[in-house]
Amino acid sequence: PLGHIVIVGAGFAGLTAAKYLREWSAGNIKVTIIEPNPQFISCPQSNLVLGGSRTLDDLSFSYALSRKQHDLQWIQDSVTAIDLANKQVTLARGKLHYDRLILAPGVDFDYSRIPGMASPVADIPHAWKAGKQTLQLRQQLEGMPDGGVFVMTIPKAPYRCPPGPYERACQVAHYFKQHKPRSKVIILDSNADITSKKGLFLQSFQGDYQGIIDYHNNSEILQLDIASKTIKTDFETVQASVLNVIPPQLAGKVAQAAGLANVDQHWCEVDFVTYASTLDSHVHVIGDSISAGLPKSAHMATSQAKICAAAIIAVQSGRPPNPLPVFANTCYSFVDDRQAMHVANVYRYDPVKKTMATAEGGGVSTKASVQEGDYAQAWAQNIWADTLT
């Protein structure tokens, strides 16, 4: 009786929204979720597959429990277009009407901004969506001779998971230190600086991984030669044995196609009380596709999903949504197989600036530790359980 909500994407954001729409409406909202992938694969901890302490199986989960438990209508397909005027989405198999739409398609990659690599190249994986490419990159590292060079390029922010590339560098260095001690990790960061856990990552780069990790800031790709895996920047030319280009990012393709990526044509602007798009009050956008100073993390995506679900239930019931949402974000990074470190913050809605603002408090670890590695594992198990059951 409270309407039909269609959700595009069963990642961290979409699946969490589906669960809480059903739970908090006591089953009074019909939820249809559209997702092409047969199973859920977690990006969090996927860098540890590169380091060798996790397998992709450890991070792969069935959608079956969630579907059954919350009685979700499930369509395994992709949305190719959205008809905003008629409130319909187009799938390969036909059209579907919605009362409200939640878009949670994650990020898409913009190859047009990589000089020399205008489209994906089969043996240069990004591995920035966990899955086949994560395994491919691990196999490339395993196949690389000792003394080889792993080069990773980092796109201009904002991109999915701000500390993710630096965690990846540590994981690859951890593998090299054990199995290929003469090998090197070169990070070409197009940003001026490390924006997340900088001091902590530098401790690792200059401590455990001294002589292995070589970090270069302000190093945008000026030219990339695919055949020789050579990259030219303002300062140098480097040749990779294994090349990992993390492409520049923008909102999921379906959000762009619907014209909802209204910030620099890259990200979707939303009202942070309901997560409604500023272009269409019946389309809500959550997760990595939104524009905000908020880090693009799984923890954020699930927090936004809960606020969005509660707001939709309120509005569909004729009540005002909570005017002052608040949530937390904790992000752990593993520096080896056991030690991790964190950054944590609380965010409160600022009604004057109409955005989520970092509240006082919060903080970062003083150093990476095994104890925090245990906390990081517990964090992952909790977010998987919350999202997938």
Question: 118: Cβ–Cβ under 8 A, 6 or more apart, which residues?
Answer: 111, 112
Sole window of 157-165, 319-327, 341-349, 361-369 interacting with ligand FAD (rule: CB under 6 A): 157-165
Read off the tokens for 76: 């395994």
CB atoms within 10 A of CB 52: 17
Interface residue with ligand FAD, options 28, 37, 73, 322 (CB under 6 A): 37
Handedness of CA 110, 35, 254, 165 (dihedral sign): negative
**Closest separation in Å from C-beta 235 to ligand FAD:** 26
Distance CA 375, CA 76 (A): 34
Distance CA 389, CA 384 (A): 8
189 binds ligand FAD (CB under 6 A): no
36 binds ligand FAD (CB under 6 A): yes
Q: Contacts with ligand FAD: how many residues (CB under 6 A)?
A: 35
Q: Are 129 and 43 within 8 A, CB to CB?
A: yes
Eight-state DSSP code of residue 320: P
Which amino acid type is present at position 201?
F
Query: Site residues for ligand FAD, window 294-333 (CB under 6 A)?
Result: 296-299, 301, 331-332
Interface residue with ligand FAD, options 2, 3, 5, 12 (CB under 6 A): 12
Interface residue with ligand FAD, options 105, 155, 158, 321 (CB under 6 A): 105
**Closest separation in Å from C-beta 234 to ligand FAD:** 27
- Which residue from 239, 163, 245, 154 is spatially nearest to 192, judged by alpha carbons? 154
34 binds ligand FAD (CB under 6 A): yes
Among residues 326 and 328, whose Cβ is nearest to ligand FAD?
328
Interface residue with ligand FAD, options 247, 287, 325, 373 (CB under 6 A): 287
387 binds ligand FAD (CB under 6 A): no
9 binds ligand FAD (CB under 6 A): yes
3-class secondary structure for 156-218?
A: CCCCCCCCHHHHHHHHHHHHHHHHCCCCEEEEEECCCCCCCCHHHHHHHHHCCCCCCEEEECC
106 binds ligand FAD (CB under 6 A): yes
The distance of Cα 123 from the centroid of its chain, to the nearest Å, equals 22
Distance CA 210, CA 30 (A): 55
- Which residue from 280, 326, 312 is spatially nearest to 20, judged by alpha carbons? 312
288 binds ligand FAD (CB under 6 A): yes
384 binds ligand FAD (CB under 6 A): no
**Closest separation in Å from C-beta 20 to ligand FAD:** 14
341 binds ligand FAD (CB under 6 A): no
Residue 243 DSSP SS3 = strand
Among residues 106 and 248, whose Cβ is nearest to ligand FAD?
106
Among residues 212 and 308, whose Cβ is nearest to ligand FAD?
308
The contact set with ligand FAD (CB under 6 A) reads 8-14, 34-37, 43-44, 46-47, 78-79, 104-106, 128, 160-161, 164, 252, 254, 287-288, 296-299, 301, 331-332
